[in-house]
Amino acid sequence: MSTKRLAPPEFEECYQRYATGVLAFLRVRVGCDADADDCLGRIFEKLWTQGADVEPAARGAWLFVVARREAALHWRTKNRADEVLRSLAARTDDRTIQTTNDNGLDNEESAVELRLAMNHLTSEQRDILRRRFLDNTCFREIAEQLDIPLGTALSRVHAALKQLRKILRDD
Amino acid sequence: MMNSNPDDEMLIAYLFGEADQTDRQSIENWLGRDPAHGERLCQWAETIGDLATIYRAEQPSQPTFKRSDAHALVRRYRFVAITSFSLAASVLAIALFPRIAIENEDSRIALAWVDVRASDTDTQSPQLDWDGSMTESFASTTAEVDEVMEEMEGDKSTSEPISDEPPEWMLMAMSLMIPTDEAFDIDEVTP
């Protein structure tokens, strides 16, 4: 897969929006502020070099998935505090540690499963997801377009994501 | 919306970059309190990432043509382009040059004939410069005519005698070559 650099304005927007949250996430995971800062640097370096391949709607999600992996790798490479590592590993899904693909589904099988799972969603749920991911329309605008409250739009997305997770977990 | 323990909708809005400033700060504080909070956020993040991958695959890719593509194309087809151009130029040259040569030869004969006729009837002496020497242009023209005449004489010995009257095509060519205001009657030239 070809990788493209993220445009500077988009990078800056992502940094301003998520850097504090990702750093807070890393600090409690890594346990050391300096190491968390190092991890944060690597994560945003990845965003800079690979971010253009990530859907704009999913860049925040991508940052936290990458941050979780970076935290796990940090512990693995340092190979210290086995007890903390074990507790973290228990919290962290094995799939996250072993995966090598930052941009979503690990293999074609998972993609097929998710596509099938999407058939279980209502047309209203699929419509909102399509508008958000394909048209890159924000939820506030989607709510205006559909003439529904913002909370309702978010509830539909939440219900859709929850259902997808449930179906995939049951499989 | 101030909330110390954000709900799932708020987390989803945050991951989509649509949480307002207050919600964002609330979530950032919440993330720093317990690793489990981050894990909860990451589960939503994973599902969103997977969905993004699915929708990305559905998006039609738009072909773009960049400057670098153009350069690559030129590099790739440079040899073919140069070869084609050379071939076309060669064909054009072969098609045009014999005609140009023929036209030059015809013009030269026609001019020589006019000069010869003029020298037969004209009593004007060669133009002399102020120091008495022959004008260079006149001399060179005369020498050139002599040369052509010699060639024509040579041809006469081997082929049928040249008619005293110029052929029709030559007169037409002459009338085309001479400017309109200096045009002359063909009958005046024709002996």
DSSP per-residue letters across B90-108: HHHHHHHHHHHHHHHHHHH
> Is B39 in contact with B64 (CB distance < 8 Å)?
no
Residue range(s) in chain A whose domain bears CATH number 1.10.1740? 8-98
Residue range(s) in chain A whose domain bears CATH number 1.10.10.10? 108-170
**Residue A117: closest CA among chain B residues belongs to which residue?**
B51
pLDDT band at B172 (very low <50, low <70, confident <90, very high): confident
What's the CATH number for A8-98?
1.10.1740
| CA–CA gap between residue A111 and residue A130 (Å, rounded) | 16
The DSSP 8-state label assigned to residue A53 in this structure reads G
Asked if A61 is an interface residue toward chain B (Cβ–Cβ < 8 A), one would say yes
Judged by CB atoms closer than 8 Å, whether chains meet at B47 and A161 is answered as: yes
Instruction: Give me the residue label for tokens 């400057």.
Output: B67
| Exposure string over A113-128, b if 16+ CB within 10 A, otherwise e | bbeebbeebeeebeeb
Q: Would the pLDDT of A2 be above 50?
A: yes
First-to-last alpha carbon distance for chain A, in angstroms, is 28
| Exposure string over B103-140, b if 16+ CB within 10 A, otherwise e | eeeeeebbbbbbbeeeeeeeeeeeeeeeeeeeeeeeee
| CA–CA gap between residue B88 and residue B170 (Å, rounded) | 33
Judged by CB atoms closer than 8 Å, whether chains meet at B59 and A138 is answered as: no
pLDDT of residue A100: 42
- What digits encode the pLDDT tens for the residues A36-87? 999 999 999 999 998 888 889 999 999 999 999 999 988 888 765 566 556 6
pLDDT of residue B130: 45
- Report chain B's C-alpha Rg in angstroms: 46
Judged by CB atoms closer than 8 Å, whether chains meet at B39 and A65 is answered as: no
What's the CATH number for A108-170?
1.10.10.10
- Structure-model confidence comparison of residues A63 and A99, the more confident one: A63
Residue numbers in A near B34 (CB within 8 A):
28
Taking residues B46-53, what's their average pLDDT?
89
* Average pLDDT score over chain A: 84
Taking residues B177-186, what's their average pLDDT?
55
Judged by CB atoms closer than 8 Å, whether chains meet at A138 and B16 is answered as: yes
